[in-house]
Structure 1
Amino acid sequence: MRPTISEKSGKKNQKSSKKNGSTSRPSSPPETSPTHSSALSEKEVSSSKPQTVPSAGPDASSNNTFQFKLAQYLIVIVSFLTRFWKLHVPNEVVFDEVHFGKFASYYIQGKYFFDLHPPFAKLLLAFVAWLAGYDGHYLFDNIGDNYKDYGVPYVAIRAWPALLSSLVPPLVFLTMKESGYELWACLVSACLVLFDNAHVAEGRLILLDATLVFSMVAAVYCYVRFFKLRHSPFSRGWWSWLFLTGVCLSCTISTKYVGLFTFCSIGLSVCLELWYLWDIKTGLPIQRFASHFLARFFCLIVFPFALYLFWFFLHFRLLTTSGPGDSFMSLQFQETLDENPISANATGVNYYDVVTIKHMGTNAFLHSHLDKYPIPYDDGRISSGGQQVTGYPFEDDNNYWMILPHDHYDDPKYKPNMPVKNTDYIKLHHVGTNTDLITHDVASPYNPTNEEFTTVSVDESAAEKHELTLFQLVISDEDSHDRQVFTKAMSFKLIHKLTNVAMWSDPKPLPDWGFNQQEINGAKNILSGPIFWMFDDILGLPEERVNKEVRVPKKLSFFKKYIELQLVMFRQNNLLTESHPYSSTPSDWFTLHHGIAFWAKNEENKQIYLLGNPIGWWLIGGIVITTTVVASVEMLLHQRGIVTLLPSVRNHFYRSIMFFYATYMFHYIPFYLMGRQLFLHHYLPAQVAGAMLCGAFIQLACIKSFKLPVSPGVKQPTDVDSNGYAKSIRRKGYICHALLSLALTAVLGYCFVFFAPMTYGDVSLSVPEWLRRKWLESWVFQYQK
């Protein structure tokens, strides 16, 4: 077990080494420190003297620099070639380009739209389109529409995600290099992404995943660079890489909310690192620890969140005109948009107006008809047997209600054209059946804890049941006290005066006796839920009351808009539970069981089918399983005092390899907990983490385990290098690693080329040729037989 070194002694040793003309760093923290992917000394520390980081190669020298640079340049060239190859093909709308291309058009037009994802990547696509001279006139209506027919600079727009996707393999290579791995490990990890058909197909289209994956890998790379400077805290480089880590994390979660998984991956390592710094053995004063904590808190949480909010601020500032996303938002939100038809057609509501009342959640009209509630219900409960009040989604004569003042049957002081105001008590008279709306202490059909809504005759309403007919109208706008109620532009709650329940609608259809219409009842929760309604229209509105004034958009604070949008986004995301022909489960991704048909030209037997490189994906799956088994067995045996890995190997395994393993798991396991639609492209961030894990584990298997045990008092053989490795055995391990890596790279490259026709959609293949590529029956190709 290596001794711990205080921060002060580390600095002192650094100064001493500078005087001697060499650089060194303090020894890394003990095995309980964070799992990470930084380059760490694997040498056992026998004194407080700082240890330099040893090379993982057998005969490390400065000549390795040339090899790394050469490999890096080749990866950059090949990466750009694979992503930009025939970028103009196909010249038609492909898969989800119908969504994200449309959103870019709406940004340019300034029309409000709704999407489940944060705005960062969509804003970038819109900006690139604008720079290319696009005016947003085309809305990417259908898959297969020809871009040239509409004058869309689609190649320029596609070039942006292709650029980001091209940078991912070099970043993976650099991350492995900065983590202290050999050239061959870096090459394997980079090639698993470089020659992956799914990354290429997804990364060269007008989609969001290239931005997501690039930001995720950049965050990991920046964190590795930051952690390598852990013994030079608060230096310029330390601050720079910490700050850039926060920027990349913010870009990740600002692209898609699954970017939260990257936060968790790096956050776990940060928390473990802080836990080590908190240890009294480090000799770190409380004030110094507080500085470490606050630096990370600001750079990794506060600033990323502020940057994340900025993209929403820009989103709202650009989308100022009414658009297709209006219907998802509240009426108060819609009133802030220019040319909003609801605001333009809003009309003040007066007493004795005949109106239709629409539920905000389901768009069903408040409805009643002569049919009665059954006595009893199927479960044996008893109803009042009164007239049914339901929610009906279509226009009908039984949707008309007259708004009456609460003292209509006494000595009314209300006159025609008297406005209905917020917090007024009103009565609702059903015109079609000449009855008044009530609720009372009788259980509703589906909800025994909620009250039944029904109607009573005018005579009963004027006498003993008058109090049951009174409802308070409460506008949802907080600043609307004593304000007149308008149609369309205001939502309200209808709260019963006597029992204090709110009129509520359940989208679950009633049985045949209720004509499969929605249940209306009284809910005890009067603060939230599906209890909001609006006056939709006024029947027979006189010409003089038709609103003709030009309405100025109202103001709503940024945070109110942001919070409302977040709630709507999460609500709509949870509603995506319907099956889709190309949806898949996380277990399908692991085995590459399903792909996604992006585009097809059947008459030419061309298609784009999203499918990962099978060799790479199956290899990563095997390595993940192997790592799980090795880590589990090693920990169990270690607890019993059985040494299976040398201390340096074990240290490397848990510090570096398990960081990549944790990153993979954080980007994979949470999808098992989701109930929404999932697709193969959701696996791409996990696949990148798996690629880095794969390169690291293969190096461990080939090289790291060849260190010879050293017995006390026994003279070391001349064949042992300074790191304790037998040179001949070490050399064999290195040769094995190199040959295995070259063979794997060749196989990955061949497999990529073999499946390239379905990645680029540029080659016509015969039916036998397509069938040769159908390695699994579950791959649903589209070709003309």
Structure 2
Amino acid sequence: MPTSGFLPKSSELNLRERRKNFKDDLGNDGPFDEASSDEASTPKEALDPVSNYNSTFKYLGLGALTALSFYVRFHKIDSNDSVVWDEAHFGKFGSYYIKNEFYHDVHPPLGKMLIALSEYLAGFDGNFGFDSGEPYPDGVNFKFMRQFNAIFGALCAPLMTLSARNVGFGNHCSMLLGLMVALELSYVALSKFILLDSILLFFTATTYYCITKVHSLRQEQFTRKWSMWMLLLGLSIGCVCSVKWVGLFITLVAGAYTIADLFTSHHNKTLPRSIYYRHWVIRIINLIIIPFMIYLFCFKIHFTILHKSGTGDASTNTLFQVNLDNNKIEIGPRDLAYGSEVTIRSHGLSPNLLHSHVQLYPFGSGQHQVTGYGHSDDNNNWIINFPRQSGMEISEFSPGGDESLKLIDGSELRLVHRNTKANLHSHEIPAHVSKNCYEVSGYGDKNIGDVKDDWIIEVVQQLASSNATFPNEDSNKIHPISTSFRLRHKELGCYLATTGLAYPAWGFKQAEIVCKTSWTKRDKSTWWNVEDHWNANFEKSEGYVPPKSKFWADFILINFAMASSNNALVPDEDKFDALATKAWEWPTLHTGLRMCGWGSTTVKYYLLGSPFQTWLSTAALVFFCCYVVMFALRWRRQTVSLTQGDLSVLGMQGVLPFLAWLLHYLPFVFMGRVTYVHHYVPALYFAILVFGFVLETVLPKRVLLNVVIYSTLYAGCIYTYMYFAPIAQGMDGPAMNYQYLDWVNTWTIST
């Protein structure tokens, strides 16, 4: 069968023979050097008697490693019986599933649904609030919930070992890397609580493991076994992206491997084109369609379970909210009229209500701010009045239910803010965030104003009632909930719109509202609908049932809302966040994070990477960069020859893990959002893999010396864990008792 993947497997098996001609400037034994030509031609197992193990011994070692990983995570897992750190968020999100109440969060739902599953299995009724620092009541089996989460973290250690074996690392190295994951202090600490981080790391690890497994089976392509692992890779990608969007980074790693795989196949002259195109089809189905379907299915379950009104209503559109049980939307009279009081919601990326308040713009016009705000507030209420040019005025209470007062497509109107009495206004002043649009403000009052207070309503969509027996409504009139419309400024010709951006702190970080030029009716940022409607002069229509929301619209909107919420997580310049850190601090262990209160009677946890794992892996990253540069220079000078097998080993053992580290680290360097120590968790996993490549590359292949070095590394890893174990297993008593752990003066373990 023609081969694919990075390069043929047979070339890799002879790589050690090819390394003997290349000398490393750093010592006698180079990265491609062997102790002797006899050793180079000898099978790897014969070089190291300690590594001459059978399959039973190999898996016994893996079993022992897994047991150790479980032990350190389950040990004293309930020592702190209060809500620790972000358990206040994720435990609460899980409880919303138990109570079927809709909520909004910046992350996709899979991880929180798994947390909800643990709560359900623990017999939790959803009535505990998970307030930070609050003790768990007797009826809440928080120990089981934490153990459920710890399972995901514990399984990352054997996954690391198996991944390392798949790419050709020796057993000593593979077991060491697994041990480093098992005893990594930050992994242990995060695994002990009801958080997303261990779940995210688990699916990141399974995705990478599946990549390495597919690579190891590249000579068995299209067999049942290869197809199964390709499918599992797609399922794993779908799961990791459904826990956090950080999962997109490991998806890019899988994409990079796939591109290299297809590139190799494309240049394989013996491969029939029909087989090559089949490669494309298999990967499109397994690595694009299936992950997307998993992601989509998670949201389908999410919407199905959360069918009651809850804390997240404000992040959704009117149709979604009105179909939730116990929603707060009032079904008022079916026809809008002059004199009606309304709330108006956007269809744009920020599905917020049109809002204003007494605060003024600090720049521009200096008039009342007009913003988008999703939550219930009487500053969302507007009175529909006659246009300024009409010369007519109407009180807040319409004089009777006159049919001529009802709004129709093309009606001119003036929106008056219920509390400030200011008119919704726009003028040729640039908006405060989107400078290519016009500012929208609250201006004047009943007597003060001009023609720039006037707007024209344009109907763009009418939806029918879900009640088939309800009479058809006049499609020319404006109805709450079911009529989507645009508001065109009569003087400027621009449309009232949301931008999806937010004002700075002076605007309370609420959504930006502008008047923008729009050339198409399909521009959803200019679409609005009336949500609440009050008018005592018109009767409510009996039997009206709002239209059902569409899943696709809800899915797209909730993802935009998640993106908007993520973008809003920026550092507050007016507040000091003692927990926030910069990306450069993580690989250097510049500082850690206190996960709970620091009182003398509290069992305390300090989130900090293990010095052994973190500092060694960081040094390995630097070494790898130098190694690649040196290697490239030698190749350019033709002092070293490269075979396809050499490139394959370098690609899978070194380049791919380094690329994975880079993709999981660099985004946090450049993003504007607030960052914390736990954001380095996935990147550290791949930094450890790069350390494995360095070991396999630079260590001499002499049996005794090899055993001594690996024994020292094993001992160092275990000793470092035992020395620093209190920060992950819980520190009893006064923090000053642990002053010996403050190796770096920026650590705050004992202060």
Letter in 2 for 1:108: I
**1:248 CA displacement:** 1.3
Match of 1:340 in 2: 327
C-alpha deviation, 1:642, in angstroms: 1.7
Q: How far apart, CA to CA, are the structure 2 residues paired with 1:250 and 1:36?
A: 29
Q: CA, structure 1 residues 424+36, in 2 after alignment: closer, same or farther (shift >3 Å)?
A: farther
State the alpha-carbon separation in 2 of the partners of residues 433 and 155 from structure 1.
50
Q: Is the alpha carbon distance of 1:389 and 1:307 closer, same or farther for their aligned partners in structure 2, counting shifts above 3 Å?
A: closer
2:334–2:541 Cα contact (<8 Å) kept: no
- C-alpha deviation, 1:84, in angstroms: 0.8
Q: Relative to structure 1, is the Cα distance of residues 101 and 510 closer, same or farther in structure 2, using a 3 angstrom cutoff?
A: closer
Q: What is the CA–CA distance in structure 2 between the aligned matches of 1:38 and 1:678, rounded to whole Å?
A: 43
Match of residue 404 from structure 1: 386
Corresponding residue for 1:188? 176
Following superposition, the deviation at residue 251 of structure 1 comes to 1.1
| 1:482 matched residue in structure 2 | 475
Q: Judge conservation of contact 2:331–2:533 (CA < 8 Å) in 1.
A: no
Q: CA deviation at 1:431?
A: 9.5
Counterpart residue type for residue 154 of structure 1 = F
For residue 571 of structure 1, the aligned residue among 564, 568, 573 is 564
What CA distance in whole angstroms lies between the structure 2 residues aligned with 1:275 and 1:398? 56
Distance of 2:447 and 2:87 partners within structure 1: 62
The aligned residue for residue 330 of structure 1 is 317
> How far off its partner does 1:547 sit?
5.5
1:720-767 deviations in Å (ceiling 9; x for gaps): xxxxxxxxxx4xx23222222221221221221222222122533561
Q: Counterpart of 1:662?
A: 659
Q: String of CA shifts for 1:586-610, please: whole Å, max 9, x gaps.
A: 2111101222211135132631111
Of the candidates 79, 103, 118, which is equivalent to residue 69 of structure 2? 79
Q: 1:144 aligns with which of 110, 114, 133?
A: 133
Distance in 2 (CA, whole Å) between partners of 1:160 and 1:322 is 28
3-state SS of the aligned residue for 2:44?
A: coil
Q: Deviations over 1:21-59 (max 9, x none)?
A: xxxxxxx88xxx3699997542679xxxxxx99536615
Larger-Rg structure? 1
Where does residue 732 of structure 2 map in the other structure?
763
2:358 and 2:531 map into 1 onto residues whose CA distance is: 17
Is structure 2 residue 107 aligned with structure 1 residue 117? yes
| Gap runs ≥5 in structure 2 | 19-40, 465-473
Q: Would the aligned equivalents of 2:318 and 2:531 in 1 still touch at CA under 8 Å?
A: no
Distance across 1 between alignment mates of 2:563 and 2:539: 38
Name the residue aligned to 1:317: 304
1:55 paired with 2:40, answer no
Take 1:594 and 1:572, find their aligned partners in 2: how far apart are those partners? 27
Deviation at 1:105, TM superposition (A): 0.7
Partner in structure 1 of residue 35 of structure 2? none
Correspondence for 1:609: 606
2:120 partner letter: W
| Structure 2 partner of 1:557 | 550
1:388 and 1:454 in contact (8 A); partners too: yes
Q: How far apart in 1 are the matches of 2:224 and 2:379? A: 74
Matched residue SS, 1:152? coil
Does the 8 Å contact 2:488/2:494 carry over to 1? yes
| CA separation of 1:496 and 1:219: change in aligned 2, threshold 3 A | same
Q: Out of 276, 282, 286, which is 2:264 matched to? A: 276
Match of 2:251 among 263, 272, 277: 263
Between 1:402-411 and 1:596-605, the stretch displaced more is: 402-411
Q: 2:625 aligns with which of 614, 628, 631?
A: 628
Residues 370 and 442 of structure 2 are in contact (CA less than 8 Å); yes or no, is this contact kept in structure 1?
no
Contact 1:390 1:520 in 2 (8 A): no
Number of the residue aligned with 1:681: 678
Tell whether 2:341 aligns with 1:355. yes
User: Deviations along 1:389-430, whole A, 9 cap, x unmatched?
Assistant: 653999999986452379966999x97343644634122275
Supply the AA of the counterpart residue of 2:55.
T
Q: How large is the Cα RMSD of the aligned pairs?
A: 4.4
* Larger displacement relative to structure 2 (444-453 or 623-632): 444-453
Q: Which moved more, 1:431-440 or 1:592-601?
A: 431-440
Kindly indicate whether residue 134 of structure 2 is the aligned counterpart of residue 155 of structure 1. Answer: no
Cα distance change, pair 519–229 in 1 and its aligned pair in 2 (3 A):
closer
1:416 to 401, 404, 408: 401
| Deviation by residue 1:535-555 (Cα, 9 ceiling, x = unmatched) | 68778x53x757596875641
The alpha-carbon distance between structure 1 residues 251 and 40, as it changes in their structure 2 partners (threshold 3 A), is farther
Q: Does residue 1:777 correspond to 2:745, yes or no?
A: yes
Matched, 1:391 2:359: no
- Contact 1:338–1:553 (8 Å) recurs in 2: no
Instruction: Specify the SS of the correspondent of 1:755.
Output: helix
**Do the aligned residues in 2 keep the contact of 1:668 with 1:686 (CA within 8 Å)?**
yes
Aligned to 1:17: none
Amino acid at match of 2:140: V
Alignment of 1:218 with 2:218, yes or no, is no
**1-side partners of 2:583 and 2:228: how far apart?**
37
Does the 8 Å CA contact 2:174/2:692 hold for their aligned counterparts? yes
Partner of 1:305: 292
The residue correspondences of 1:459-608 to structure 2 (distance < 5 A) are 470-474=454-458, 479=463, 482=475, 485=478, 493-503=486-496, 522-525=515-518, 542=536, 552=545, 554-579=547-572, 580-600=577-597, 602-604=599-601, 606-608=603-605
After superposition, the Cα gap between the structure-2 partners of 1:756 and 1:488, relative to the gap in structure 1 and judged at 3 Å, is farther
Match of residue 293 from structure 1: 280
8 Å contact from structure 1 (residues 215, 248) kept in 2:
yes
The residue identity in structure 1 corresponding to 2:82 is E
Structure 1: tracts of 5 or more residues without a match: 1-6, 11-27, 46-51, 704-729
- Whether the 8 Å contact between 2:412 and 2:455 is mirrored in structure 1 is yes
Which of 333-342 and 102-111 deviates more? 333-342
Indicate conservation of the 8 Å contact 1:427/1:437, yes or no.
Answer: no
The question of whether the paired residues in 2 share the 8 Å contact of 1:351 and 1:405 is answered with no
Cα distance in 2 for residues equivalent to 1:664 and 1:398: 46
> Quick one: distance in 2 between partners of 1:692 and 1:67?
23
Does the CA-based 8 Å contact 1:474-1:493 persist in structure 2? yes
TM-score (normalised: structure 1): 0.78
Render the CA deviation track for 1:50-93: whole Å, top value 9, x for unaligned: xx995366157863434422321220111111111122221111
Contact 2:410 2:457 in 1 (8 A): yes
Q: Which amino acid aligns with 1:294?
A: V
CA–CA distance in structure 1, aligned partners of residues 672 and 380 of structure 2: 39
**CA deviation vs aligned residue, 1:240-281 (integer Å, no higher than 9, x gap):** 111111111111111111111111112211111111111143
1:294-321 Cα offsets, whole Å, 9 max, x none, are: 1122111111211121111111111111
Relative distance call for 1:348 and 1:406 in structure 2 (3 A) is farther
1:243 has 2:231 as partner: yes
| Aligned equivalent of 1:134 | 124
2:413 paired residue number: 427
Q: In 1, Cα distance between the equivalents of 2:678 and 2:687?
A: 15
Distance apart, 1:660 and its partner CA: 2.0
Verify the 8 A CA contact 2:95 2:116 in the aligned structure 1: yes
Percent identity over paired residues: 25
TM-score by length of 2: 0.81
727, 748, 765: which one aligns with 2:717: 748
Going from structure 1 to structure 2, the CA distance change for 1:275 and 1:510 (only over 3 Å counts) comes to: closer
Q: Aligned letter for 2:553?
A: K
SS at match of 1:606: coil
Q: Which amino acid aligns with 2:209?
A: Y
Amino acid at match of 1:124: L
CA contact (8 A) 1:503 1:523 kept: yes
Following TM superposition, by how much is the alpha carbon of 1:698 offset from its aligned partner in structure 2, in angstroms? 0.7
Q: Specify whether residues 193 and 57 from structure 1 end up closer, same or farther in structure 2 by C-alpha distance, changes over 3 A only.
A: farther
What are the superposed Cα offsets for residues 546-570 of structure 1, whole Å, 9 maximum, x if unpaired? 7596875641221111100111111
Verify the 8 A CA contact 1:355 1:403 in the aligned structure 2: no
Other structure's SS at 1:676 match: coil
Secondary structure of 2:209's partner? helix
Q: Is the 1:424–1:472 contact (alpha carbons within 8 Å) kept by the matching residues of 2?
A: yes
What is the DSSP-based 3-state SS (H/G/I as helix, E as strand, rest coil) of the residue aligned with 1:696?
Answer: helix
Matched, 1:42 2:30: no
Question: Shift of residue 325 of structure 1?
Answer: 0.2
